[in-house]
């Protein structure tokens, strides 16, 4: 049996899905071939590590409360879903206005920095684009978006914080945040970009207004 | 109609729903965690599913084998809704579509629970495509068989097997470099001498 044939069967070997004769052929080959034996051991160890991969427990009270919370949400959301369905269709037909905010450079050596901008929101989906300019390609950058209570990220329900990781390319990168104002008054969108121990913070203040009115028009905010 | 069914039919929908799905919550959460790879999103996914299913209580009560049905629904919700939502928030370059899919990161607390090897393997798995990563997670980490996954994911066994093997081999290659790269370099240098 060749190394190529053996390696093609190693996954089936560890899954126990080979016939007895195929299994014996792989075993015999691995007894005399260190390279294939090492590959087999590596695949076994990998499967073993995944087999014992823990699942972190959910937040306290999740198991006890999630069904009741879902029922409450279902009962409350029924009329709201109908309303959303109608206005989302309208929003799509009416074209979504976009605001572009330049966040500036993110560099590994940069210390905490806060800047503040003001944009208008209303009860339709308004896409706010945050542009991040990076001097170089950066891997494993953590992105965090936090919303105040009177804002929603369209499609995320009542979730007020969204975290994810990504890489940034050299030059301008853009995040699109589909924001809906759900109550009048001032609100906040905080975007944090973290790299290692450094953090760049962008705070966007929102004002609930009728569509089409831009509250603040500065050099850093443009209508898209 | 049996006495039990008669009794159930007079229960409030909320009670019937709770009685029906409560035994499945832990399994659903584990499954959701394997899909989302972080606790917050896994909790949200389970709650979203239950919220949608509450209005389908009558249909749920007629399903004979509820667990695989729920898992298939959870998976479909993840694909149809959650993955689309995540893609809205990926970082893109203007005028250029990204080829990488953003995945949520484990919290420092979650990472602390993992062995060094597990951390290296998880980092390598992030480089896989979604389909490969998912089948590896569900088969190798969660212990579902390929026939079970074929039923849940509605994908042919041959396709799943191919994804599983390719994913494992790619992770093996990446982790070998990470875990044994130095040793291999040392050996090759000795051989060179």
pLDDT at B82 over 50: yes
Cβ distance A166 to B102 less than 8 Å, yes or no, reads yes
pLDDT at B80 over 50: yes
Check whether residue B154 and residue B82 sit in a common domain: no
Q: Nearest chain A residue to B19 by CA: give it.
A: A67
User: Among A49, A129, A138, which would you mutate to test the B interface (most chain B Cβ atoms within 10 Å of its Cβ)?
Assistant: A49
pLDDT at B183 over 60: no
Residues paired with A191 in a beta bridge: A145, A202
> How high is the pLDDT of residue B181?
62
> How high is the pLDDT of residue A57?
92
- The domain tally of chain B equals 2
Q: Note whether A171 and B92 are within 8 A (CB).
A: no
- Provide the 3-class DSSP secondary structure of residue A71: helix
In tens, the pLDDT along A155-170 reads 777 788 887 777 777 6
Cβ distance B29 to A175 less than 8 Å, yes or no, reads no
Task: Estimate the crossing angle of helix B66-77 against helix B146-153, to 10 degrees.
Answer: 60
In tens, the pLDDT along A139-157 reads 677 788 899 999 988 777 7
> How high is the pLDDT of residue A39?
93
Task: Please give the backbone phi and psi of residue A181, each rounded to the nearest 5 degrees, phi first.
Answer: -85, 125
Instruction: Label residue A194 by pLDDT band (50, 70, 90).
Output: confident
Residue where one domain finishes, among candidates B70, B103, B136: B103
The answer, yes or no, to whether ipTM is higher than 0.85 is: no
Task: Please list, in sequence order, all residues whose beta carbon lies within 8 angstroms of the beta carbon of residue A40, skipping any fewer than 6 positions away.
Answer: A10, A13, A14, A26, A30
Task: Assign residue B49 the CATH number of its domain.
Answer: 1.10.1740.10
Task: Estimate the crossing angle of helix B66-77 against helix B39-54, to 10 degrees.
Answer: 110
Q: CB pairs below 8 Å between A and B: how many?
A: 154
Task: Assign residue B123 the CATH number of its domain.
Answer: 1.10.10.10
Check whether residue B77 and residue B128 sit in a common domain: no
In this complex, the residue of A50, A157, A168 whose CB is nearest that of residue B91 is: A168
Cβ distance B55 to A145 less than 8 Å, yes or no, reads no
> How high is the pLDDT of residue A167?
72
Residue where one domain finishes, among candidates B81, B103, B125: B103
**C-alpha distances in angstroms, B129 versus A56, B1, B38, B96, B138?**
23, 50, 18, 19, 14
Q: Which of residues 145-174 of B touch A (CB under 8 A)?
A: 164-165, 168-169, 171-172
pLDDT at A216 over 90: no
Check whether residue B32 and residue B61 sit in a common domain: yes
In this structure, the number of other CB atoms found within 10 A of the CB of residue B135 comes to 26
Check whether residue B95 and residue B174 sit in a common domain: no
In tens, the pLDDT along A49-92 reads 999 888 889 989 999 999 999 999 888 764 433 323 222 222 22
pTM over 0.80: no
Q: Note whether A140 and A165 are within 8 A (CB).
A: yes
Check whether residue B175 and residue B149 sit in a common domain: yes
d(CA B83, CA B70): 18
Percent of chain A at pLDDT above 70? 69
Check whether residue B39 and residue B84 sit in a common domain: yes
Check whether residue B185 and residue B166 sit in a common domain: yes
**C-alpha distances in angstroms, A124 versus A19, A174, A207, A213?**
61, 21, 13, 13
In tens, the pLDDT along B55-71 reads 999 999 999 889 989 99
**Buried-exposed string B7-24: b where 16+ CB fall within 10 A, e elsewhere:** eeeeeeebebbbebbeeb
Check whether residue B185 and residue B98 sit in a common domain: no
Range of the domain at B110: 104-193
- Mean pLDDT over A183-187 rounds to 87
Reported as type and span, the H/E element at residue A142 is strand A138-147
């Amino acid at each position: 049996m060749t190394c190529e044939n053996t390696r093609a069967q190693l996954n089936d070997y560890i899954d126990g899905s080979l016939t007895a004769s195929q299994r014996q052929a792989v075993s015999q080959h691995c007894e005399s071939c260190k390279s294939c034996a090492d590959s087999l051991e590596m695949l076994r160890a990998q499967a073993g590590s995944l087999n014992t991969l823990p699942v972190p427990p959910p937040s306290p009270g999740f198991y006890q409360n999630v069904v009741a919370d879902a029922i409450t949400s279902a009962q409350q959301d029924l009329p709201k879903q109908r309303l959303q369905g109608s206005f989302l269709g309208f929003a799509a037909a009416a074209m979504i206005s976009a605001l572009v905010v330049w966040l500036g450079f993110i560099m590994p050596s940069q210390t905490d920095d806060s800047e503040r901008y003001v944009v208008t929101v209303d009860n339709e989906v308004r896409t706010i684009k945050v542009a991040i300019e990076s001097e170089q390609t950066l891997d494993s950058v953590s992105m965090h978006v936090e919303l105040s209570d009177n804002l929603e990220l369209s499609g995320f329900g009542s979730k007020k914080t969204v975290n994810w990781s990504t890489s940034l390319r050299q030059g301008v990168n853009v995040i699109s945040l589909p924001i809906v104002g759900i109550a009048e008054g001032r609100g906040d969108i905080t975007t944090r970009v973290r790299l290692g121990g450094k953090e760049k913070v962008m705070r966007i203040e929102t004002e609930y207004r009728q569509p089409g009115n831009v509250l603040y028009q500065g050099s850093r905010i443009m209508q898209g | 109609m049996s006495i039990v069914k008669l009794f159930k039919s007079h229960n409030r929908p909320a009670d019937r729903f709770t009685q029906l799905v409560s035994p499945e919550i832990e399994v659903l959460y584990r499954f959701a965690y394997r899909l989302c790879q972080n606790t917050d999103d896994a909790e949200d996914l389970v709650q979203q599913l239950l919220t949608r299913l509450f209005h389908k209580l009558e249909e749920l009560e007629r399903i004979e084998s509820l667990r695989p049905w729920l898992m298939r629904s959870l998976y479909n919700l993840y694909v149809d809704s959650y993955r689309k939502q995540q893609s809205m928030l990926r970082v893109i370059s203007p005028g250029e579509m990204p080829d990488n899919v953003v995945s949520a990161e484990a919290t420092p607390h979650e990472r602390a629970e993992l062995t060094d090897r597990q951390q290296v393997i998880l980092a390598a798995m992030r480089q896989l495509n979604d389909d490969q990563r998912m089948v590896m997670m569900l088969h190798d980490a969660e212990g579902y068989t390929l026939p079970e996954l074929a039923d849940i994911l509605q994908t042919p066994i041959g396709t799943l097997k191919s994804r599983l093997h390719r994913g494992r081999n790619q992770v093996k290659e990446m982790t070998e470099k990470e875990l044994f790269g130095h040793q291999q370099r040392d050996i090759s240098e000795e051989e060179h001498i």
